[in-house]
Amino acid sequence: METELTTVRNGRLIYRGVDAVRVARNATVEDTAALLWHCAPLKPVRPRTRLAEGETGKARAFEYLSQRAATAPPLSGATRDELAEIGAELLIGFADAVSGIRGRGLFHQRLARFWGLDPNGVDLLRRTLVLVADHELNPSSFSARVTASTGASLAACALSGYATLTGPRHGEASARALEFLKSQLGRDPNKEACTPAVPSDQTPAIGQALDPNGDPRAKSRRRRMNLEPDLKRASKAAERNGQERANVDMALAALCLKLDLPNDAPFLIFASGRLVGWIAHAIEQTLSGKMIRPRAKYLGK
């Protein structure tokens, strides 16, 4: 599948020709969206729907995207600028849903206020959101593209990506990694448990198919986080069972422990950043005008 958005090349994650680690040094979520969506700087657009309800940020985000998908018109004939405007509204509404309040400011600032972060934590969160914005044809982005290829709304595309992200082998891998780190640190991994059970012999957040020499996003996070010795040892412990290195999911889990964030924070950070990528893939697929229709290899009689 052809794309101009993202690739992994020579150990680097590339956003439209620019090293993503370099983008993350100063860019905001909004800057990254403008880069990946190939549009003008984003303008604030207030959501047209009511504030989502739910007991958790994850549930409220589901509710927000669902209500938007249920009422938004299909995208046939929309221009790039029109799609970008819709995408900007989705970003603001998603931040409202995660935090449970109508907020102001940049995307990362609103989440940082929700979690009560200090200035160092605010910057770490900003950089992390940018680094997880996209990663080529990962499962959730492919889901968003398939949905976009039918002409469905951007909200429906984002909902497809979000639903796919909830799987324990994708977006919830960082929550599993958080449980692993807590067990290494002697903390109760089952307190406030929020993820499905997984086989105990599967070490989470290790290895990355596109980054055999180590996930550049994880490397960048480790350099910036300045982890305490015990947390650094816990993060490295998972690597002792094989040759593969800890990936961005483990880095996300370590970040959440360092900043004393709740157990659902790894998933919410991942989803919040990746929303930019889902919209980027949906825009690119929509503008191509092509339907994604793979063929199956039939094995029956």
Q: Is 38 helix (H, G, I), strand (E, B) or coil?
A: coil
Binning pLDDT at 50, 70 and 90, where does residue 76 land?
A: confident
- Helices 80-99, 107-115: axis angle to 10 degrees equals 10
**In angstroms, rounded to a whole number, what is the distance separating the alpha carbons of residues 227 and 258?**
7
Q: Could you tell me which residue, 199 or 288, shows the higher pLDDT? A: 288
Residue 22 is which amino acid? R
In this prediction, what percent of the chain has a pLDDT beyond 70? 83
Residue type, 257: L
Q: Residues with Cβ < 8 Å from 278, sequence gap 6 or more?
A: 140, 141, 144, 157, 158, 160, 161, 162
- Give residue-wise pLDDT tens across range 258-298: 899 999 999 999 999 999 999 999 999 999 999 999 999 99
Predicted confidence at residue 179, as pLDDT, reads 84
pLDDT of residue 240: 58
Per-residue confidence (pLDDT) for residue 127, from 0 to 100: 93
Question: Which residues, other chains included, contact 67 with Cβ-Cβ below 8 Å and sequence gap of 6+?
Answer: 49, 50, 52
**7, 29, 276, 18: which is closest to 144 by C-alpha?**
276
pLDDT category at 170 given cuts 50, 70, 90 is confident
**Distance set, CA 274 to CA 33, 239, 266, 270 (Å):** 10, 26, 12, 6
Amino acid (one-letter) located at 17: G
The mean predicted confidence, pLDDT, of the chain is: 86
pLDDT (mean) for 180-209:
56
Phi and psi at 152, nearest 5°, equal -70, 165
CA dihedral of residues 7, 12, 16, 21 (deg, nearest 10): 140
Token pair belonging to 62: 């589901």
CA–CA separation, 81 and 72 (whole Å): 17
Handedness of CA 225, 101, 162, 23 (dihedral sign): negative
Q: Which of 38-42, 68-72, 209-213, 244-248 has the lowest mean pLDDT?
A: 209-213
Q: Where in the chain are the domains?
A: 6-167+268-288, 173-258
Report strand pairing: 18-19 vs 6-9: unpaired
pLDDT tens digits for range 200-253? 445 555 555 556 566 667 666 566 666 777 777 777 776 655 556 667 788 888
Provide the token pair at 89: 């509204």
> Which CATH topology does 6-167+268-288 take?
Citrate Synthase; domain 1 (1.10.580)
For 90, list phi and psi in degrees, rounded to 5.
Answer: -65, -40
Averaged pLDDT, 55-68: 95
Higher-pLDDT residue of 221 and 144 is 144
Q: Give residue 226's pLDDT.
A: 67
Does the pTM exceed 0.85?
Answer: yes
Q: What is the C-alpha separation between 123 and 24, in angstroms, rounded?
A: 10
Angstrom distance (rounded) from CA 271 to CA 97: 12
Give the residue-averaged pLDDT of 55-66.
96
Length of the chain in residues, anyone?
Answer: 301
Q: What are phi and psi of 9, to 5 degrees?
A: -140, 125
Q: For residue 40, is pLDDT > 50? A: yes
Q: Which is higher by pLDDT, 243 or 179?
A: 179
The total of other beta-carbon atoms located within 10 Å of residue 122's CB is: 18
Residue 32 clears pLDDT 90, i.e. is over it: yes
Write the single-letter amino acid at 126: R
pLDDT at 188: 55
Question: What average pLDDT score do residues 148-152 get?
Answer: 95
More confident residue, 193 or 17: 17
